[in-house]
Amino acid sequence: MTVQSTATLLRIVRLSLISLSAVFIGASLLQAAEKVSATILVKDAFTSPNQATTVEAKLIPRGLLTSNPLGGEPLELVADGKVVATAMTGGDGRAFFTYVPKAIGLALVQVRVGNSSRVASTEGQANLAVWEKRYPILTIELSALTEELTPSRVPRIGIAIEAERKPMPGAADELEKLTRFYYRVIYVVTSSASTDGFQTSMEARDWLKTHKFPMGYVMMLPPDSQALGAKIDEFHAEGWKTIKIGVGRTRAFAEAFLQRRLDAVIVPEPAKGDAPRKAKVAKDWKEVRKKL
């Protein structure tokens, strides 16, 4: 083989390698570009120091018309900047993390996508309440913090969400005073029968933050009139005896406490005869503090 032939062959080899590299790079970029954009929804969690809790998350495609969950994807739970647990999403898009926190307080935790070849990086957040069982806890029905929606003459498309409601005058300030040095707070939110509560939980946290309410544990309940009472019983059985005061708007909420010989305050003042006999009534949130 002549020197000229050898040089020609080397040029062909170099061009082939460059072409192959371009193909591989192009394929990698195409794969990255085709990753699914997703949303992670996370529910709040609640426990005491050095006790295990379960953080529940859900991975769904991002977009108005795509809500099918993403199963078989790795997720990571991050607390204090460290990955403290990992889990895979099931066929329903849900993942469950077991975590044993040590520090007392209420902090944000993140759930993010792990090493996935299909889903683009994203994360969701929720509150993790880690409280001593001796702390007094105030349980509040979220609707007791909001004004009634004014009926609109324009037909509404879809379902009215909590974010459209305005807070009752003084509610955030009065609740901040109650929680500054004394009470911890659980916000009770009921999801609709057609949902699993993830979206509602996120909307409730966003609404509370937007209107400057103190941070707390957002507790999701199914639309069952007995659900709150069952949850109170569960808390008491686990040693949370300081859950004994409820502030709500509805008769059913107040009765869940009264039936267990606990205190209940209804705000704002309902129509005559609508409040249970032993419930305390407050016309506004300035009066609530006087009733506790």
Whether residues 126 and 141 share a domain: the answer is no
Whether residues 126 and 142 share a domain: the answer is no
Whether residues 116 and 219 share a domain: the answer is no
Whether residues 178 and 223 share a domain: the answer is yes
Whether residues 267 and 236 share a domain: the answer is yes
Whether residues 100 and 50 share a domain: the answer is yes
Q: How confident is the model at residue 211 (pLDDT cuts 50, 70, 90)?
A: very high
Q: Is the pTM of this model over 0.85?
A: no
Cα angle for residues 49, 51, 57 (degrees, 5° grid): 105
User: Is 251 among the domain residues?
Assistant: yes
User: Is 124 among the domain residues?
Assistant: yes
Q: What letter does residue 211 receive in the DSSP assignment? A: T
What DSSP line would sit under 145-178, residue for residue? GBPPPPPPSSPPSS---GGGSPBPTTHHHHHHHH
Average pLDDT, stretch 14-29?
A: 46
pLDDT confidence of residue 28: 45
Lowest mean pLDDT among 29-38, 130-139, 233-242: 29-38
> Is pLDDT above 60 for 120?
yes
Q: How confident is the model at residue 152 (pLDDT cuts 50, 70, 90)?
A: very low
Whether residues 228 and 83 share a domain: the answer is no
What is the extent of the structural domain holding 141? 137-148+159-291
Whether residues 119 and 142 share a domain: the answer is no
- The tally of domains found in the chain comes to 2
CATH of the domain at 86: 2.60.40.10
pLDDT confidence of residue 1: 54
Among the listed residues 129, 144, 139, 137, the one whose alpha carbon sits nearest the alpha carbon of residue 217: 129
Q: Rounded CA gap, 203 and 200, in Å?
A: 5
pLDDT confidence of residue 283: 94
User: Is 217 among the domain residues?
Assistant: yes
pLDDT confidence of residue 181: 86
